């Protein structure tokens, strides 16, 4: 042990006297840091984490391959090691000393870079200093041990330069250190998983950006430890004191042995692609952490108030500041010139059926539910609808896609769901499956419907829905109409559903068909009345009761208009620009054929009067009933995407003031979803999920469709790229 300590002290003294060591360990990383910070505009926010990762990884690679590997070869060729041959010392103290002195020289540069990033570029301090420093220490000694094994197997400086460059350059450019992995071709992304530096990158950025700890990176940390021990042991056995001692060419295969831990990890990652996914998530988080300043727009504030020309600062995924006047042009942020445009919160659709496409499915055998749901959520985000509530969709598919969206693997509208719909035997909702074979019908009903036969069974089903992660409960209370009659749910069962939903903290949405249904829904504890009535007038007393209890009203005028147009054979709704931009390939054409054919005429059987629905909505607003927006998207002619835009237009046409309609589609719906404390309004500290519009929707409601930009949790959405397949 004394030999180890003595040699390490000597090496440290020599290192401190070597100006080249000080230059490459401190000044050169600082130069790289400043250069990359300027190139990546790190003063604008999230990219500072990428810059730090680049500089620290370059430092590790340089220290490992050039500081340890090439230096050791140089000392052997200059006969420096020959002098130690006659001293009472073995190779192991020399190798261990190389690891320790490299570590001692490197860690202060880590602290220096982080300090500059914090004090000048305002990057938050790492949440776990211990995890960061331990992970970096393991990386450094692992790569220096790799450099040591290179030095052990090469026979000349020329050979070392060739092998080091073969290892160094791919790790530098393909690991994510200099070029984001997510933009590389798929086959290169797979190849990169066999490179040790890829795990250094994902581990480092995971700790810095995603607030991970060492425990989240145990596998790559373990691979680094294994590499260090294997490489150091082999280097000690292959150690040569003099340059005249030569090894056969096959000795270079020991490099492969040292890389076995990472080759094993690469084989697994080539299958799972977990690391590739993680790298994409890191880049998404970096984009969301950028500092953006929307300069000069009109800003729609809560309660319909507005700033004529101000500024909105988006930082770390939140609204950081609201300016009452345009901020200066030299503000330390990425400037988005928005003069003449309008900023408002993202829109919300409270009633969608994601598994229904909005038109005929050409070939059910080619229908892939998970892809259809993911695409629908992308279409909503493309259209500025940043949150939706799914009602009655299959839970397995919804949970799977929601997890993908929440992780950030894919971009799409934030998804809430109420899971299976509560109805009754032969009640509304069951008719969609009656033409199917019994086995398929039973499977479909089991996945999408609850058919409780008693109050206690209904309560148990509500509890089951709560355990599944549902954000609410959806029940159907409708008897239908002449020519389309359904069994109506027993009101006592509905009351049991309402009581249990309240006990479980879940809002209850009730589908209604007429005024009697609305009255029973309100009496049974509904939080939201869906559809209301398009058949008869809802009494003023019921609206007064809804206002007193805070029961929201969701008229879904969009689907009523669609059914009316279907019955008349009209197709103008399909000509809207956003509809044509987001519709899946072939859907509009198949819808037009359907409308033109005999199938479309059956919608004439629906006795629904849009004028009655308009009048009920207008009286609900005047009575002080909370309003929310839903479209019933997924029904024919109501295609996923720009749903709420049309709903707002119909509201304004019915007589609802534009500020009231916009508030319902943002703050009102956010409150009904339970996210009103973070979304639905332009407030400091709220999610940076906003729309930038060409025009003023307070004057012209159709301006909501003229999207200049969509910002989702601080990320400027690449709308054109939303539909690209991985």
Q: Whole-angstrom Cα distance, residue 81 to residue 91?
A: 10
Window from 76-85, 335-344, 595-604 with minimum mean pLDDT: 595-604
Average pLDDT over residues 381-405: 89
Residue 294 pLDDT: 96
HSE-up (13 A, CA, CB side) for residue 264:
12
Percent of the chain at pLDDT above 90? 45
Nearest residue to 296 (alpha-carbon basis) of 345, 343, 331: 343
Top-confidence residue, 51 or 11: 51
Residue 482 pLDDT: 63
Query: What are the Cα distances from residue 363, in Å, to 10, 282, 447, 590?
Result: 76, 38, 21, 11
Residue 425 lies in a domain: no
Residue 516 pLDDT: 96
Query: What are the Cα distances from residue 692, in Å, to 103, 383, 712?
Result: 49, 12, 11
Number of domains, the chain: 1
Residues 6+ apart with CB under 8 A from 631: 349, 351, 352, 556, 558, 559, 638, 643, 644, 646, 647
Radius of gyration (C-alpha) of the chain in whole angstroms: 32
Largest Cα separation within the chain, whole Å, is 106
Average pLDDT over residues 165-190: 86
Domain that holds residue 255: 2-288
Pairing state of beta strands 318-323 and 311-315? Answer: antiparallel
Q: How confident is the model at residue 17 (pLDDT cuts 50, 70, 90)?
A: low
How much is the pTM?
0.86
Window from 74-83, 319-328, 433-442 with minimum mean pLDDT: 433-442
Q: Estimate to the nearest angstrom the gap between the alpha carbon of 644 and the chain centroid.
A: 22
Query: Which region holds residue 635: left if phi is over 0, alpha if psi is between -120 and 50, else beta?
Result: beta
Average pLDDT over residues 30-47: 75
Q: Which two tokens stand for residue 628?
A: 């929310």
For the beta sheet containing 414-417, the strands, ordered from the edge strand earlier in sequence to the opposite edge, are: 347-352, 385-390, 414-417
Residue 19 pLDDT: 62
HSE-up (13 A, CA, CB side) for residue 161:
4
Residue 490 pLDDT: 94
Token match 């004529």: residue? 308
Q: Whole-angstrom Cα distance, residue 315 to residue 312?
A: 10
Nearest residue to 58 (alpha-carbon basis) of 92, 24, 95: 24
Q: Whole-angstrom Cα distance, residue 514 to residue 174?
A: 62
Residue 652 pLDDT: 98
Q: Is the pLDDT of residue 330 over 90?
A: no
Residue 389 lies in a domain: no
- What three-state secondary structure class fits 387? strand
Residue 163 lies in a domain: yes
Average pLDDT over residues 438-462: 84
The tens digit of pLDDT for each residue in 344-356 reads 999 999 999 998 8
For residue 632, count other CB atoms closer than 10 A to its CB.
26
Window from 311-315, 495-499, 520-524, 583-587 with minimum mean pLDDT: 583-587
Q: Is the pLDDT of residue 241 over 80?
A: no
Q: Is the pLDDT of residue 240 over 60?
A: yes
Do residues 173 and 179 lie in contact, with contact meaning Cβ atoms separated by under 8 Å?
yes
Q: Is the pLDDT of residue 511 over 70?
A: yes
Q: Is the pLDDT of residue 600 over 60?
A: no
Q: How confident is the model at residue 675 (pLDDT cuts 50, 70, 90)?
A: very high
- What three-state secondary structure class fits 465? helix
The tens digit of pLDDT for each residue in 211-235 reads 889 999 998 899 999 999 998 888 8
Residue 64 lies in a domain: yes
Residue 249 lies in a domain: yes
Q: Whole-angstrom Cα distance, residue 663 to residue 686?
A: 16
Residue 85 lies in a domain: yes
Q: Whole-angstrom Cα distance, residue 703 to residue 578?
A: 12
Burial class of residue 244 in the structure, from the number of CB atoms within 10 Å of its CB (0-12 exposed, 13-18 middle, 19+ buried): exposed
SS3 content of the chain, % helix, strand, coil (to 5): 60, 10, 30
Please provide residue 18's backbone torsions phi and psi, each rounded to the nearest 5 degrees: -90, 110
Q: Is the pLDDT of residue 489 over 90?
A: yes
Most confident stretch, 283-297, 318-332, 393-407, 655-669: 655-669
Residue 608 lies in a domain: no
Q: How confident is the model at residue 698 (pLDDT cuts 50, 70, 90)?
A: very high
Residue 706 lies in a domain: no
Q: How confident is the model at residue 177 (pLDDT cuts 50, 70, 90)?
A: confident
Do residues 338 and 310 lie in contact, with contact meaning Cβ atoms separated by under 8 Å?
no
């Amino acid at each position: 042990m004394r030999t180890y300590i003595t040699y390490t002290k000597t090496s440290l003294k020599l290192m401190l006297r070597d100006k080249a060591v000080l230059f490459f360990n401190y000044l050169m990383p600082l130069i790289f840091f400043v250069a990359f910070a300027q190139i990546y505009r790190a003063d604008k926010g999230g990219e500072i984490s990428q810059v730090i990762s680049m500089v620290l990884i370059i430092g590790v690679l340089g220290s490992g391959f050039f500081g340890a590997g090439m230096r050791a070869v140089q000392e052997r060729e200059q006969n420096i090691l020959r002098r130690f041959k006659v001293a009472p010392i073995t190779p192991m103290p020399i190798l261990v000393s190389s690891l320790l002195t490299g570590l001692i020289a490197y860690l202060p540069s880590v602290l220096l870079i982080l300090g500059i990033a914090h004090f000048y570029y305002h990057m938050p301090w790492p949440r776990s200093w211990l995890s960061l420093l331990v992970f970096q220490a393991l990386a450094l000694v692992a790569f220096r041990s790799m450099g040591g094994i290179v030095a052990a197997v090469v026979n000349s400086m020329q050979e070392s330069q060739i092998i080091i460059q073969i290892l160094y350059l791919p790790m530098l450019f393909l690991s994510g250190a200099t070029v984001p992995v997510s933009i590389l071709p798929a086959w290169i992304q797979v190849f990169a998983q066999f490179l040790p530096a890829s795990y250094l990158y994902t581990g480092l950025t995971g700790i810095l950006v995603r607030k991970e700890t060492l425990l989240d990176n145990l596998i790559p940390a373990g691979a680094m430890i294994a590499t260090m021990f294997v490489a150091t042991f082999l280097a000690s056995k292959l150690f040569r004191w003099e340059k005249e001692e030569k090894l056969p060419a096959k000795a270079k295969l020991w490099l492969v042995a040292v890389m076995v831990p990472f080759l094993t990890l690469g084989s697994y990652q080539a299958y799972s692609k977990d690391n590739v996914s993680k790298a994409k998530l890191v880049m998404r988080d970096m984009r969301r952490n950028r500092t953006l300043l929307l300069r000069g727009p009109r800003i729609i504030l809560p309660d319909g108030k507005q700033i004529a020309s101000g500024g909105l600062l988006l930082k770390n995924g939140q609204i950081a500041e609201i300016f009452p006047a345009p901020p200066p042009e030299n503000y330390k942020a990425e400037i988005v010139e928005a003069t003449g445009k309008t900023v408002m919160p993202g829109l919300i659709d409270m009633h969608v059926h994601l598994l229904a496409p909005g038109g005929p499915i050409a070939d059910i055998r080619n229908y892939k539910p998970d892809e259809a749901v993911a695409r629908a959520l992308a279409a909503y985000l493309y259209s500025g609808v940043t949150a939706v509530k799914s009602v009655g969709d299959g839970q397995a598919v919804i949970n799977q896609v929601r997890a993908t969206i929440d992780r950030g693997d894919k971009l799409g509208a934030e998804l809430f769901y109420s899971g299976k719909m509560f109805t009754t035997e032969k009640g509304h909702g069951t008719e969609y499956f009656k033409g199917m074979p019994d086995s398929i019908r039973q499977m479909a009903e089991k996945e999408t419907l609850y058919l409780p036969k008693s109050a206690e069974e209904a309560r148990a089903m509500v509890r089951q829905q709560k355990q599944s992660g549902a954000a609410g409960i959806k029940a159907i209370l409708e008897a239908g109409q002449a020519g389309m009659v359904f069994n109506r749910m027993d009101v006592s069962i509905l009351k049991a559903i309402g009581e249990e939903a309240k006990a479980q903290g879940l809002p209850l949405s009730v589908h209604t068909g007429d005024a009697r249904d609305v009255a029973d829904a309100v009496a049974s504890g509904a939080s939201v009345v869906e559809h209301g009535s398009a058949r008869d007038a809802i009494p003023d007393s019921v609206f007064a009761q809804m206002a007193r209890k805070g029961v929201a009203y969701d008229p879904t005028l969009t689907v009523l208009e669609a059914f009316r147009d279907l019955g008349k054979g009209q197709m103008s709704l399909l000509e809207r620009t956003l509809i044509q931009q987001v519709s899946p390939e072939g859907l509009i054409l198949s819808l037009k054929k359907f409308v033109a054919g005999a199938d479309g005429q059956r919608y004439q059987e629906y006795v629904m009067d849009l004028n009655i629905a308009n009048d009920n909505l207008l009286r609900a607003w005047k009575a002080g009933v909370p309003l929310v927006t839903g479209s019933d998207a997924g029904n024919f002619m109501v295609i996923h995407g720009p749903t709420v835009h049309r709903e707002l237009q119909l509201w304004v046409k019915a007589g609802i003031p534009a500020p009231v309609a916009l508030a319902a589609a943002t703050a009102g719906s956010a409150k009904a979803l339970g996210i009103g404390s973070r979304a639905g309004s332009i407030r400091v500290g709220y999610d940076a999920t906003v729309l930038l519009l060409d025009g003023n929707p307070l004057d012209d409601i159709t301006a909501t469709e003229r999207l200049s930009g969509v910002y989702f949790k601080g990320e400027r959405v690449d709308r054109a790229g939303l539909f690209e397949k991985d």
